[in-house]
Each structure stands twice: as C-alpha cells, then as structure tokens.
Amino acid sequence: MNPNFDEIGKAFIKQYYEVFDNKEMRPNVAAMYLNNHVPGQLGLLSFEGQQFQGIDAIAEKMKQIPLDNMQRVISTVDCQPMYDGGVIVSVVGQLKNNDVNDKVMAFCQTFVLKAVGQGFFISHDIFRLCLHNLAA
C-alpha cells in the first residue's frame, strides 16, 4: 500500500477540479483517465447513472455537462490506500449556480486511482447529485 495515499488523493482532487471547473478545459479532464496505460484497461465514468468508457466517450460527456455557472465547495475528501498501490478518493461537496434563486445541490464523487509508472490515472469515477426522490 502506498503510504502517501492521503497526499496523493488530495493533490489529485485539487488538480482534477481545477481542470473540470473551467468550461474550456473540462474536456481535457478525460486525459486523466486510464486509456490502455495498462493493456486492455480503459477508464470508466458513471455520471448520474450514465456509463462512459474510454477517453473519447468521457471527453464527449465532459463537453455536455451543464455546469457553466456553477461554484463548487468541497466539504470533505477521504482517501484510502489500495493493496495494488492505488488510491480510493471520496469527495462530498456542494454545487450552486450563480443565480440568486438557485438552490444548493449536494454531490458525492468517488474515484479509484490506479498507479501507472510514476503517476496515477482514474480507473473508475462515480458522480451523483445527492437528490432524494422519495415516493409519497
């Protein structure tokens, strides 16, 4: 297990959201996902229940995400080491549109980072808004 898992996970989150939160740069986040760095392995993204695999599909999805006027606040970042040297990162936060009447939306995102050479790539990413659709 990597003893620097917490530093790795938190540095990754900082870099990921700096790219993601910039509309023009957002498609570049796809380069952070596994793309045959390990033969036969492609990064996986689950975004609000939709599944995407490989950097081309992920980049296309990133272009379509309607977060142009959103502000992000990170509440917590929790990291755990994996036995293969990778890191699991769990993020909880809030998104809010710049519109005064817009409501704050909580979100959670979980990443599995795979160690490849001297770097890390996203092998799995699950994003969900924390909405509760309870039947009456």
Residue pLDDT, tens place only, 1-48? 888 999 999 999 999 999 988 888 888 898 999 886 667 788 999 999
**Is residue 136 in some structural domain?**
no
Q: What is the reported pLDDT for 2?
A: 84
Tell me if the pTM is above 0.75.
yes
Confidence of residue 134 (pLDDT cuts 50, 70, 90): low
Question: Residue 30: phi, psi to the nearest 5?
Answer: -60, -30
**Is residue 135 in some structural domain?**
no
Task: Specify the DSSP class assigned to residue 135.
Answer: -
d(CA 64, CA 58): 10
**Is residue 76 in some structural domain?**
yes
**Is residue 106 in some structural domain?**
yes
Q: What is the reported pLDDT for 126?
A: 97
d(CA 107, CA 130): 5
d(CA 45, CA 126): 6
Longest dimension (CA), the chain: 52
**How many domains does one find in the chain?**
1
Q: What is the CATH classification number for the domain harbouring 23?
A: 3.10.450.50
Q: What is the reported pLDDT for 76?
A: 96
As a whole number of Å, the CA-based R_g of the chain is 15
Range of the domain at 96: 5-129
